[in-house]
Structure 1
Amino acid sequence: MGSNLQTACRLRPVDLARGHGLSTQAVRNYEEAGILPAADRTPAGYRAYTPLHARALGAFLALVPGHGHQTATAIMRAVNRGALDEAFRALDESHAQLLDDRRTLEAVESALRDLEPAVPPEPGETFVGPLAEQLGIRPATLRKWERAGLVRPRRDPRTGYRVYGEADVRDARLVHQLRRGGYLLGQIAPLIAQVRAAGGLAPLEAALGDWHGRLSARGRAMLTGAAELEAYLRERG
């Protein structure tokens, strides 16, 4: 009777693959990667999966949207090895990253709200002295920001002087505002990277709504992943 029940619960790779739109090779690859627990083999050498494997696959696929493929893989590998503390740490680090991303977004929004109106620039480019004077800081401060990668002036090929273009002035003004708000240089770096990636302040402002949406989607996906992982942990016993 027990043997018949075990046989009835036996699943083929194709049985796991169909429900998720995967290939059977993908299912086998997930097992080899440790995302699924190792499957028993039939006398003929075929893999014999169980509902536990189906639950593991569902948990992994639910974790990916919120945590990414690499972290989801690390979580499942740790769970399948019985290293639950390691799995929970990976989850904690992923949630901490989401919180950092939220704080970055909030800092960008705050900086954009508080950014003072630009002083009409002189025609063309400017040098370190005039820019420092415009911001009310020392030239050495601008050079420090440059070493931190926060401003990236070009060098005049003849004189070697730093030359600040429009984007450099924008970045320097934003760094100045954030420093006045108490942000450290290491905290400012990802904000400046976001401005550069968006192509400036105006495109970044337009992208903030999408940024909010993506962070919310990640947070909700993490909830879904947590529920599926908990169901898998209960079934593992």
Structure 2
Amino acid sequence: MDHLRPTDLAREHGISTQAVRNYERDGCIPLAERTASGYRVYTEAHAAALRAYLALIPAHGYAVSGQIMRALNTGALDAALTAVDRSHAQLLRDRGTLDAVGEAVAHLTTNPDTAAQAPVSSETFSIGELAHRLGVTAATLRNWEAAGILVPDRAPVTGHRTYGAPDIRDAELAHLLRRGGYQLDQISTVVQQIRTAGGTQALSAALDDWRQRLTVRGLAMLNASVQLARYTALLDLTPPEPLTYPDTP
């Protein structure tokens, strides 16, 4: 087996030899053997581990990538695969949330009654007045508040709620989306995104960016899987017997 120096591993990725030593210290690549004079000696397994770790980072982030590599380097194959599975599941949830928000925004921008597209009054409302304006109960508004959809001001002594222009806009949006069949958690996501983005047009642009980032992450996961498979093939890990599935009609 060819012996590699820290500089050989570092040069491949344009990083410093200190970074390589740090990755070894943190368990992201296996410990290197030492020569009699104390110099590190790496092998192709170390090079494959470094390729896998650096490919994992844009796909799963630093924390999860380190968790995966430390599990593999200590023989905990199932723990490593579980961490990968959780990350893939989170990406799937993110895609579902993105689709739900995108549908809701499309609903808002094509509905002529969309409150986010028109200026709202500077008048403030009590909970009863806002409930009457929308044709809902005060309990409904309290439920929306508990879900994070509404954030009214509260009087310091009495605790009475006061709804200003942004609250009225958010309540109108929530009412519209509830009529469209959206769940409270989906509406909360839309409203909070609109608060951050400043309106549905800005949110649409943010959603496009969000979708692009998810695509980039998904592609990074594919690349990471390739590098991870190459590394695990070099490890002395005994995988379980493959599952057999009945033939489908």
8 Å CA contact 2:105–2:190 kept in 1: the answer is no
Output aligned runs, 1:1-237, within 5 Å: 6=1, 9-115=2-108, 116=111, 117-118=113-114, 121-156=120-155, 160-237=159-236
Q: Higher mean Cα deviation, 198-207 or 89-98?
A: 198-207
Give 1:96 shift: 0.9
RMSD value, Cα:
2.2
Query: Can you list the C-alpha shifts for 1:7-30, whole angstroms capped at 9, x where unaligned?
Result: xx2112121111112111111111
SS at 2:162's partner residue?
strand
TM-score, normalisation: structure 1: 0.87
Residue-pair matches, total: 230
Contact 1:111 1:177 in 2 (8 A): no
Structure 1 window deviating more from structure 2 (179-188 vs 84-93): it is: 179-188
Structure 1: gaps (5+ residues): 1-5
Identity %: 53
CA deviation digits over 1:162-218, x for unaligned, max 9?
Answer: 222232223323333444455544454444333333233231112221111111111
Do the aligned partners of 2:122 and 2:164 also contact (CA within 8 Å) in 1? no
State the TM-score, normalizing by the size of structure 2. 0.83
SS in 2 for 1:55: helix
Shift of 1:48: 0.8
Distance (Å, rounded) in 2 between the aligned partners of 1:82 and 1:192: 45
Runs of 5+ unmatched residues, structure 2:
237-249
CA–CA distance in 1 between the matches of 2:57 and 2:87? 11
Distance 1:188 1:122, change over 3 A: closer
Q: Match for 2:29: what amino acid?
A: L
Query: In the aligned structure 2, how far is the partner of 1:177 from the partner of 1:82?
Result: 53
Q: For the residues of structure 1 that align with 2:29 and 2:181, how far apart are their CA atoms?
A: 47
Query: Structure 1 residues 118, 182: closer, same or farther in 2, change over 3 A?
Result: closer
3-state SS in 2 of match to 1:92? helix
